[in-house]
Structure 1
C-alpha cells in the first residue's frame, strides 16, 4: 500500500450524485471501492479528507440544506476526519486544503470520487501542479454521459477514460483499488 502519511481525498460523494437528473453513469462499483479504501485508511490511521460540493445555485441538488448535499450514508466522515467544502470543481480553490496538507507534512495524495472529468480531474491537476505525488484510483471514480464540443454523445465510460488519460503521467498515477491495497 502507500506511505503512512498519504491522504485519501474523497470528492463529492454526496447523496445528490444518485439523483436521476445526473444522468447515466459508469462504474457502478465505485462507491464500494471507495468504501473499501476508506476502511483501509481508517484501519491504518491515515489522514482522510472528505470534500463536499456546496452549490451556489438554489436549483442544484447540492444546494446547502437539501438531502442531496449530505454525504452518502456509507461514506459519512468521522469526527476525526477533515471535511472541506468547495464551491467550484477544484478542491484546492478557496478551501484551505493545501495549507491543511502542508501543516501535516502530507506530500502524497490518493484521490477518489466524482465526477472523474470534473472535480476529480480538476483537483488532481492542481495537486500535481502544487507538487503533491498524486494517485487517482480509476475504479473508485465515475463519470456521467455528456455531449462533446460538437454535440456528439459521449458515454460515461468514454468521458471517464478520457479524463484519466488526461491525468496519467503529467499530473497523476492511475491505479485500481486492488493494486493500491496490495
Structure 2
C-alpha cells in the first residue's frame, strides 16, 4: 500500500472515560493515552484531518450513554478547533453514520484508526472500512482492549485478545503500524 499522507484521516475511536472503571474489565495497554495523544498532536501540527468517533450508547444504564460522565472524551482526546465528531450506537463507525460521506468530502484515501477497544469497535470499524474500499491503517499500540471470559470459566488475558485481533486485521483488512512509525511518516 502506497500511502498518500495528505489524503490520510486520523480516526480516534471511543476514547471515552467509561472504559476506566466498572463494569469494564481489566485493560492492558498503559501507553494507549500517550500514543493516541502523540498521534493527535502530529496530525494537528501537520494540518491533516481528524474525525473523532464517540460511542453514544442507547442501552439502558450504559456507562457510555449520552450525558453521562463516561460518555465524555478522555483527557487530551477532546475535539479541538471544530474537529468533527461522529456519533455511533453500534460497533462500526461506518454503520448508521455519515463517516463514509465525510471521508469522501475530504478527498481521503487512507484512514488511520486507533482507540478502545481493539477487538470490538476498532476492529469492526477497520473491517467495515476495508470492505467499503478504504485503505485502512491500524495504530496498534494506540489501541487497548479488555481481558475477556473464555466461556469455560477462565479468562483470556487482554494482551492475547489484542495480539489475535491485530494479527487478524493485519492479515486481511489493514496495514498495521506503530505510533513511532506513524510519527515518522
Give yes or no for TM over 0.5.
yes
4+ residue runs over 3 A deviation: 149-152
How many Å apart are 1:49 and its aligned residue? 0.8
Matched residue pairs, number?
Answer: 182
Inter-partner Cα distance in structure 2 for 1:104 and 1:83: 14
Cα-Cα RMSD:
1.3
Unaligned runs of 5+ in 2: none
Change over 3 Å in CA distance of 1:131–1:68 after alignment to 2: same
Inter-partner Cα distance in structure 2 for 1:2 and 1:37: 17
How many Å apart are 1:26 and its aligned residue? 1.1
Unaligned runs of 5+ in 1: none
Inter-partner Cα distance in structure 1 for 2:47 and 2:164: 33
Match of 2:31 among 22, 29, 32: 29
Change over 3 Å in CA distance of 1:5–1:162 after alignment to 2: same
Inter-partner Cα distance in structure 1 for 2:68 and 2:105: 33
Inter-partner Cα distance in structure 2 for 1:151 and 1:101: 43
Inter-partner Cα distance in structure 1 for 2:81 and 2:17: 19
TM-score normalised by L of structure 1: 0.95
Q: Which residue of 1 aligns with 2:46?
A: 44
Q: Compare the two structures and name the one with the higher strand fraction.
A: 1
Change over 3 Å in CA distance of 1:2–1:16 after alignment to 2: farther
Larger CA deviation: 88-97 vs 150-159: 150-159
Helix, strand or coil at the partner of 1:36: helix
Is this contact kept in 1: 2:4–2:109, CA < 8 A?
no
How many Å apart are 1:179 and its aligned residue? 1.2
TM-score normalised by L of structure 2: 0.94
